[in-house]
């Protein structure tokens, strides 16, 4: 978590910002000082089911845990994440051993595109709306949060869709997931606020 806090401070100071920063598609929110304001974890049964699916299909599963990215082992798919300048993937053995011990905000299945395409309906049926899926990058299937300007397929399967970025979707997410749980709200109502209700 320290790495994320330091990156938040660095980015905010360079941009002269004092506003919260949303990371991992809004699953991790920190203020300008690096204090965690909100973090949403995947439910343990969802993680375990996804790991079971990955094992049965011979696919790579990785999890994002604040500033760490974990996988059972390293391979060509985990190595492909270096392109995105994210923290190095750590090989930690079977991820099921960490469920309940490490906060996991996001899970990604990685493998050949044809297998990922076939996997999506299997995951959606098995999870029954307990998490949303999206494919933002080839060879990956993610569980995450969806903005209104996402593709139709992503919006169709998401449990909660914010407005588009141009319609204050980020402000809606901050209001709903950061401020509201603390009994606070934005001083203005974001555009199309009813969409997130």
Q: Band the pLDDT of 32: cuts 50, 70, 90.
A: low
Least Cα distance to 186 among 22, 20, 16, 8 occurs for: 20
pLDDT digits (tens, 9 = 90+) for 47-62: 999 999 999 999 999 9
**H/E element, 8:** helix 2-15
pTM for the structure as a whole: 0.64
Q: How far is CA 125 from CA 47, 88, 119, in A?
A: 15, 32, 10
More confident of the two residues 61 and 193: 61
Q: Which residue has the tokens 């203020």?
A: 31
pLDDT digits (tens, 9 = 90+) for 13-31: 666 666 666 666 566 677 7
More confident of the two residues 145 and 95: 95
Ramachandran bin of 179, using left for φ above 0, alpha for ψ from -120 to 50, beta for the remaining angles: alpha
Hey, what CATH class is 44-157 in? alpha beta
> 13-17, 33-37, 54-58, 82-86: which has the highest mean pLDDT?
54-58
pLDDT digits (tens, 9 = 90+) for 105-129: 889 999 999 999 999 999 989 988 7
Kindly compute the dihedral angle of the four CA atoms of residues 147, 81, 138, 128, in this order, to the nearest 10 degrees.
-50
pLDDT digits (tens, 9 = 90+) for 129-169: 788 787 777 888 887 545 555 556 555 555 566 676 667 77
- Taking the C-alpha atoms of residue 78 and residue 56, their distance in angstroms, rounded to an integer, is 19
- Taking the C-alpha atoms of residue 59 and residue 77, their distance in angstroms, rounded to an integer, is 10
More confident of the two residues 12 and 171: 171
Residue spans per domain, the chain: 1-40, 44-157
More confident of the two residues 9 and 36: 36
């Amino acid at each position: 978590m320290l790495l994320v806090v330091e990156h938040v401070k660095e980015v905010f100071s360079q941009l002269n910002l004092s506003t919260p920063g949303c990371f991992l598609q809004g699953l991790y929110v920190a203020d300008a000082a690096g204090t965690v304001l909100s973090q949403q974890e995947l439910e343990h049964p969802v993680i375990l089911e996804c790991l079971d699916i990955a094992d049965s299909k011979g696919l790579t599963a990785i999890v994002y845990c604040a500033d760490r990215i974990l996988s059972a082992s390293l391979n060509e798919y985990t190595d492909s994440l270096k392109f995105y300048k994210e923290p190095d993937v750590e090989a930690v053995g079977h991820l099921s051993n960490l469920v309940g011990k490490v906060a996991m905000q996001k899970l990604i299945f990685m493998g050949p595109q044809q297998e990922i395409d076939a996997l999506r309906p299997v995951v959606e049926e098995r999870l029954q709306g307990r998490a949303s899926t999206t494919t933002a990058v080839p060879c990956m299937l993610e569980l995450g949060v969806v903005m209104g300007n996402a593709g139709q397929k992503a919006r169709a399967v998401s449990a909660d869709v914010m407005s588009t970025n141009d319609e204050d979707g980020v402000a809606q997410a901050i209001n709903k997931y950061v401020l509201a749980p603390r009994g606070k709200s934005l001083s203005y109502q974001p555009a199309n606020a009813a969409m997130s209700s």
